[in-house]
Every structure is written in structure tokens, then in C-alpha cells.
Amino acid sequence: MAQQERGKRSRRSILEAAAQVFDERGYDAASTNEILARTGLTRGSLYHHFPSKEAIALALVQAHAEALEVPERPIRLQSVIDLTLEFARRLQHDAVLRASVRLTTEQTSFDCPPQTTYEQSMDTILTLLQEAEKRDEILPGVDVREVSSLIVGSFTGLQIMSQAYTGRADLPQRTSVLWKFLLPGLATPGLVGRLRTTPPEE
């Protein structure tokens, strides 16, 4: 048991160090040497957990899914909004998320499988939108599949631009603006005014 615990801990420490290195340098310029130097582990221990740099990148991208925690709200559209606002906030500090986003959006020799990030985000949002649809929160005629793809695509660009301008400091604000302008074309008129597009008070 103690050994299993140690194993888990070193796996986690490799992922965290690798996330920092990928986030700072991108995939191609990142080296396992630098990742090792930041963990203090041996190369043998690294290869015990991950056979290659690519395997580490893949594990990081998969960790993306765990970050998609759905906030429970009485209005399902509010859950979608809060999911994106919370994701925006976490991107400011969470190296694993930042790395997974960079690995997904940049074209490198790491051939990132789109299903692990875009598809997971779209699936989570689509499920919420379908529930919202059943509860008559969505305008008639709206294609919720189209909307989930639009939200993921738009958010992807907003976070890149926010990174370039403010190191992601203004990402929650940019996410709020996205919702302010999407909702009138998406939500039933009575609902638009009742939805909060800014982060909930802590």
C-alpha cells in the first residue's frame, strides 16, 4: 500500500513538472531531462510511469477531462455558463490545464487526438444543453450540437488572446462577454435576464 501510494505520488509529480515545462516551452522544445530535473526523480522512475514524452503529453491532455466539473444549478444554462467561467479561472493557475490547452491548440510533432480535449468539452456542454432544451430553456430551432461546438471554439480563441494580452488575467471577463452576446440567440427571452454571466460571488 505504501509503495502504491509512493508510485501515485511520483506519477503526479512527473505530470505536474511536465505540465510546467510544456506550458512554458511547448511540446517540441520540452525535454524529459528538464522534466526530470524538476521532479528530482530518476530516469528509471520516469520510464516506469511513462514510456515516452508523448505518453506524458497524452496523460496531461486526458487530465483535461477531470477539470470539467459541472456545477449543479437549477437552470441548466447557468451550469454551462459557470462551467466555462470556472474553467477560465482555473486556466489562470492550473499548470496541468494550461499545458493541456497548449498541447491541443498548437501544431507540433505531438499529434494531439482532438477527441481528448475538444470532444470531451463539447460532450459535457452538449449534455447540459440537451437537458436545458428539455426544460424549455433554449429557443426553438436552435441546434444545440452547433452551439456546443461554437462555445468550445470561441472559448479556445478567447483564452489564446487573453494569454497574449494579459497572461489570462482578463479571461473570466472575456468569457462573460461571450455569454452576454450569445444568450439572446440561445436562451428563451424570459430566461436571458435571469442568467448570471459573471462569476458567482465567492
Binding site for its own copies (CB under 8 A): 26, 28-29, 102, 104-108, 112, 114, 118, 146-147, 149-150, 152-165, 174, 177-178, 180-186
**Cα–Cα nearest to 120, from 182, 48, 68:** 68
Q: Which CB, 74 or 93, lies closer to its own copies? A: 93
How many DSSP H helices and E strands does the chain contain? 10, 0
Q: Which CB, 37 or 177, lies closer to its own copies? A: 177
CB of 105 to its own copies, least distance (A): 5
Integer-rounded Cα Rg, in Å, for the chain is 19
Q: Which CB, 47 or 165, lies closer to its own copies? A: 165
Which contiguous run of DSSP H or E holds residue 199?
Answer: none
Q: Give the span between the Cα atoms of 192 and 172, in whole angstroms.
A: 19
Q: Which CB, 49 or 174, lies closer to its own copies? A: 174
In this structure, how many other beta carbons lie within 10 angstroms of the beta carbon of residue 89? Answer: 15
CB of 109 to its own copies, least distance (A): 8
CB of 155 to its own copies, least distance (A): 7
